[in-house]
Amino acid sequence: MSKWLEGRVIDNRHWTEALFSLRVEAPRLPFEAGQFVKLALDVEGERVARPFSFVNAPEDPVLEFYGVIVPEGPLSPRLARLAAGGTLYLSPNPSGFLVLSEVPDAETLWLLATGTGLAPFLSILRTETPWRRFRSVVLVHAARFARELVYRDAIEALSRAHGARFRYLTFVSREQAAGSLAGRIPAAIGDGRLEQAAAARLAPETSQVMLCGNPDMLKDAAAALAARGMKKHRRRSPGQITVESFW
Ligand SMILES: Cc1cc2nc3c(=O)[nH]c(=O)nc-3n(C[C@H](O)[C@H](O)[C@H](O)COP(=O)(O)OP(=O)(O)OC[C@H]3O[C@@H](n4cnc5c(N)ncnc54)[C@H](O)[C@@H]3O)c2cc1C
Ligand SMILES: NC(=O)c1ccc[n+]([C@@H]2O[C@H](COP(=O)([O-])OP(=O)(O)OC[C@H]3O[C@@H](n4cnc5c(N)ncnc54)[C@H](OP(=O)(O)O)[C@@H]3O)[C@@H](O)[C@H]2O)c1
């Protein structure tokens, strides 16, 4: 018997020529918000699988995934071409450590994402846990272009639900964009622009930071946070930084 579960695409929303969100009907998959599952398709007789973070909250019966087309990649362009009624496969075992059960309590939870690294944070923010455990939550999304700042409706709904306890900040790196910070997250940690925009202190005594997306951003941001006395959180050696690299 195959270990793969079969999923049926309900819809495939294209935000830009490269960004898409798949909504999928599949057998129930228990997971913690922030985790991922492998999605797979059969390509020239071989099953090609890649990890994708859940965008939906765990109790939502419809699964959602947010992806970017890597033009030369074997899987992402094919996932992007799936239409309603199409079939994909899911591994039966969600996993991953970018979850609040691995993050200590603090005053402020900072969620810093590049590109599709936004996905697991949306899942986390759609649960009760961050709002029960942290006084305020700052979501930061960095993209190359303003049109790539997706899920605005979902984020506005979070703002309405949580008011001043929730702050949403954006970075746009490759054009000027009103309302967004320019450049990259690590530089803005270093020069204080991120704290200023969030009106919150980014310090070891007050903050837990979760990072997701581009591995170079994770490295550079961890270095900028280390300069402020913050370090990776480990069960045996508590710190303030929890990361997930997408490649
Ligand atoms: C834990 C985990 C969770 C992930 N969750 C997601 C997710 O929710 N959404 C998503 O789109 N991808 C996610 N990825 C990446 C995903 O698994 C694939 O790598 C991606 O979809 C490209 O697949 P591919 O087969 O087309 O190309 P691949 O051969 O897998 O990748 C080729 C190259 O594309 C670049 N790349 C890969 N993924 C991305 C990305 N997300 N953004 C920008 N550049 C990228 C890298 O340079 C990589 O070396 C995740 C990866 C990991 C490890
Ligand atoms: N038409 C298409 O098919 C199409 C279109 C767009 C993208 N793509 C593909 O998508 C992939 C790129 O996706 P993406 O733009 O979501 O991801 P990305 O390259 O990781 O860029 C997302 C954001 O992360 C920033 N970043 C990069 N390195 C960083 C670092 N060291 N520290 C801090 N921030 C950093 C980028 O800034 P910078 O801008 O300064 O690097 C950008 O603002 C590529 O594989 C590309 O081929 C395809």
Residue 69: closest CA among 148, 180, 174: 148
> What are the pocket residues of ligand 2 if the criterion is a CB atom closer than 6 Å to any ligand atom?
17-18, 68-71, 114-116, 142-144, 171, 173-174, 184-186, 213-214, 216-217, 220
Please state the separation of Cα 113 from the chain's center in Å: 6
The phi and psi torsions of 225 (rounded to 5 degrees) equal -75, -35
pLDDT at 181: 98
Q: For residue 156, what are the contacts with CB-CB under 8 A and spacing of at least 6?
A: none
pLDDT at 2: 63
What is the mean pLDDT for each group of 10 consecutive residues in the chain (247 residues)? 89 98 97 98 97 98 98 98 98 98 98 98 98 98 98 98 97 98 98 98 98 98 98 96 98
Distance of CA 246 from the midpoint of ligand 1 (Å)? 6
Query: Would you say the pTM of this structure is higher than 0.95?
Result: yes
Residue type, 5: L
For 147-153, the CB contacts below 8 A with 24+ separation are 147/15, 147/16, 148/15, 148/16, 148/19, 148/115, 149/180, 150/15, 150/19, 150/21, 150/66, 150/118, 151/55, 151/66, 151/118, 151/122
Q: For residue 238, what are the contacts with CB-CB under 8 A and spacing of at least 6?
A: 104
Distance of CA 35 from the midpoint of ligand 2 (Å)? 22
Helix (H, G, I), strand (E, B) or coil at 213: strand
Can you tell me which atom of ligand 1 is nearest the CA of 53? 8
- Can you read off the two tokens belonging to residue 152? 């605005």
Among protein residues, the one with the nearest Cα to ligand 2's atom 40 is 173
CA distance 193 to 180: 12
Contact between 149 and 172 under an 8 Å Cβ cutoff? The reply is yes
CA distance 239 to 79: 37
Residue 154: closest CA among 30, 242, 7, 23: 23
pLDDT at 53: 99
Contact between 140 and 170 under an 8 Å Cβ cutoff? The reply is yes
Can you tell me which atom of ligand 2 is nearest the CA of 77? 3
Contact between 133 and 100 under an 8 Å Cβ cutoff? The reply is yes
49 to 40, 131, 179: CA distances (angstroms): 4, 34, 37
Distance of CA 16 from the midpoint of ligand 2 (Å)? 14
